[in-house]
Amino acid sequence: MERFYLTTAIDYVNGTPHIGHAYEKIVSDVIVRHYKQRCNDVYFLTGTDEHGIKIQKTAAERGITPKQMCDEHAAAFKDAWKKLDIDYNQFIRTTDDYHEKAVQKIFEKLLAQGDIYKHSYTGLYCSGCEVFLNPKDLDENGCCPIHNRKPEEISEENYFFKLSKYKDAIIKHIKENPDYIMPAFRANEVLNQLENIEDISVSRTKDNVSWGIPVLSDDNQVIYVWIDALSNYITALGYDVDNCPEKFEKYWAESHHVIGKDILKFHSIYWSAILLALGLPLPKQLFVHGFININKEKMSKSLGNVISPQSVMEAWQLEEPDAFRYYMATAAPIGKDGNFSDEDFKEKVNVDLANNMGNLLNRTLSMLVKYFDGEVKPEFKGNNPIDALNVIDKVEEHFDKFELQEAAAEIVTLLDSTNKYVTNNAPWTLAKEEKMTECGQVLVNVLETLCIVSALIQPYCPNLADKMAQQLKFDLSVKLDDLTDDNIKVGKLISKEEIKPVFLRLDSEFATNKK
Ligand code: MSP
């Protein structure tokens, strides 16, 4: 694989980031960092979705302009991602000038070719979804099943997009490309939804929604969120109907969209249809993740249980985000819902990162210093029964299916067996019995394994991996496929002073004191 383009959903800026948003960005960043270890050309796009009635209303409630609120909240998202070490290449805001202009051109092209038409309409509008709902989409109380509130009845003359025209082509694409929608059970869901698909409204009157991109050829209408929002994936690469720049040509063919389950329909059906209408290839893959719940409850403003990534970092006094990243990225099997609880967080990172990994490195380096003054002798090398290289293949296979939890479990299993190897071979007994070569071999075998572990854990815990690699004098920039089992150099590896704990156990008192 030479190239990899990954996008996240762009977050609405009517609020500040919560751990659901953070979950998606962390999962995406872990995937991106893994692919950077495998290919040279990786591009990672994230951003914010800044138009629509919800944002207009929230700003009005706060007595500020929508733009002021967008600026404030977009900055909060950027700041949160910085603190979580989300290493994106580009942050797009749908209020960016280049995006707005490109969206206007996209709209005009679709209008000119007859894919968009004007139509008077009465419909049920959910401002949570920013979409007109079909009465059969509502729950038994007549509410939107996602936002749990009654949609508003709206009568307007809007522009409509001929979604129904593309129905058969989308069904064909999904059936012919079983990897298009991951995990596969989501593809069936989409095929069912496609059965009853109707044309969709893609504009609103300016009287009802002023905070949107104006339709170029019609003063009374603004382009309504989904054409605007979804187009970010191509406008970010410079596409604007008239131009398909090199950046677009380079990355679009390798595009992977990471999205939550609630916006699958918009991506698999609306977006696929828009791209087909524009004559562009469909994205390579949609990766659909589940939701993060808090203490097994759905996170919601009404339950008052919405938490920010920042509050977790502060409660646990985390200077680096690695523990939170690790917990989030492994919180759920592919596509399923996950859970955040303080107890579980503490338990998981203390066992996996502090005990299994950090302590193993610390103990092994300390023994190397104690018995050999930190020196690796030539006879300690080349006799490793632990097959860590094999784990690289397994981790790569899991990542190819976006199985982050399973990939991490492979690393933990490797650590478990390495800890067992130390217990079974008891290097402290070998030293006591003066079997120094055997003792040195055991220690170096463990350190070799930890080099591979530092590379494999790096996408999840970049700071922790750096600290490990520094003490192992191991070059983390080597691509996974070029790694060997010969990374520990003969000679002085480390002194007593250089040995530092790479990960401190989480102390539950921190969390409780802060609450
Ligand atoms: N703006 C749209 C997306 C447009 S993409 C072209 C939107 N924004 S959102 O802010 O509501 O959600 C952004 C992403 O966060 C979505 O993928 C959504 O599924 C995800 N999540 C929102 N709450 C979540 C959880 N509780 N858990 C995990 N992800 C969640 O939708």
81-129 pLDDT, tens per residue?
999 999 999 999 999 999 999 999 999 999 999 999 999 888 898 888 8
Locate 176 and state its tokens: 């012919």
464, 503 contact by CB (below 8 A)? yes
Residue 68 has pLDDT above 80, yes or no: yes
- Judge if 280 and 398 occupy the same domain: no
- Judge if 66 and 194 occupy the same domain: yes
- Establish if 236 belongs to a structural domain: yes
Q: Which domain holds residue 97?
A: 3-289
- For the domain that residue 269 is a member of, what is the CATH number? 3.40.50.620
pLDDT at position 224, please? 87
- Judge if 285 and 353 occupy the same domain: no
Residue 513 has pLDDT above 90, yes or no: no
Helix extents (H) in 223-321: 225-230, 232-235, 246-252, 264-265, 272-278, 309-315
87, 29 contact by CB (below 8 A)? yes
For residue 283, cis peptide bond before it (omega within 30 degrees of 0): no
Cα(511) to centroid(ligand 1), Å: 27
- Establish if 320 belongs to a structural domain: no
SS3 280: coil
Buried b (16+ CB within 10 A) or exposed e, 195-225: eebebbbbbbbbebbebbbbbeeeeebbbbb
Boundary-marking domain end, from 255, 272, 289: 289
Any atom of ligand 1 within 6 Å of the Cβ of 49: yes
- Establish if 94 belongs to a structural domain: yes
- Judge if 268 and 400 occupy the same domain: no
- Judge if 275 and 173 occupy the same domain: yes
Any atom of ligand 1 within 6 Å of the Cβ of 116: no
Of the listed ranges 94-108, 137-151, 355-369, 481-495, the one predicted with least confidence: 137-151
- Judge if 284 and 355 occupy the same domain: no
- Judge if 282 and 368 occupy the same domain: no
**What's the average model confidence in pLDDT over 133-152?**
87
Boundary-marking domain end, from 289, 313, 329: 289
Boundary-marking domain end, from 256, 289, 322: 289
- Establish if 301 belongs to a structural domain: no
Cα(9) to centroid(ligand 1), Å: 6
Any atom of ligand 1 within 6 Å of the Cβ of 493: no
Q: Which residue has the tokens 């300390």?
A: 366
Cα(171) to centroid(ligand 1), Å: 25
Mean pLDDT of the chain: 95
- Establish if 446 belongs to a structural domain: yes
7, 92 contact by CB (below 8 A)? no
- Judge if 91 and 208 occupy the same domain: yes
Any atom of ligand 1 within 6 Å of the Cβ of 21: yes
3-state percent helix, strand, coil for the chain, nearest multiple of 5:
50, 15, 35
pLDDT at position 455, please? 98
- For the domain that residue 473 is a member of, what is the CATH number? 1.10.730.10
Catalytic residue annotation:
18, 21, 126, 129, 144, 147, 298, 301
- Establish if 66 belongs to a structural domain: yes
**What's the average model confidence in pLDDT over 470-475?**
98
In this prediction the pTM is: 0.94
CA distance linking residue 48 with residue 229, whole number of Å = 9
Cα(234) to centroid(ligand 1), Å: 19
Of the listed ranges 12-21, 34-43, 143-152, the one predicted with least confidence: 143-152
Number of domains observed in the structure of the chain: 2
- Judge if 353 and 441 occupy the same domain: yes
- Establish if 306 belongs to a structural domain: no
- Judge if 265 and 166 occupy the same domain: yes
228, 92 contact by CB (below 8 A)? no
The protein residue whose alpha carbon is closest to atom 25 in ligand 1 is 20
- Judge if 275 and 380 occupy the same domain: no
CA distance linking residue 349 with residue 246, whole number of Å = 43
CA dihedral 457, 462, 465, 469 (to 10 degrees): 130
- Establish if 299 belongs to a structural domain: no
- Judge if 177 and 59 occupy the same domain: yes
Q: How many CB atoms lie within 10 A of CB 183?
A: 17
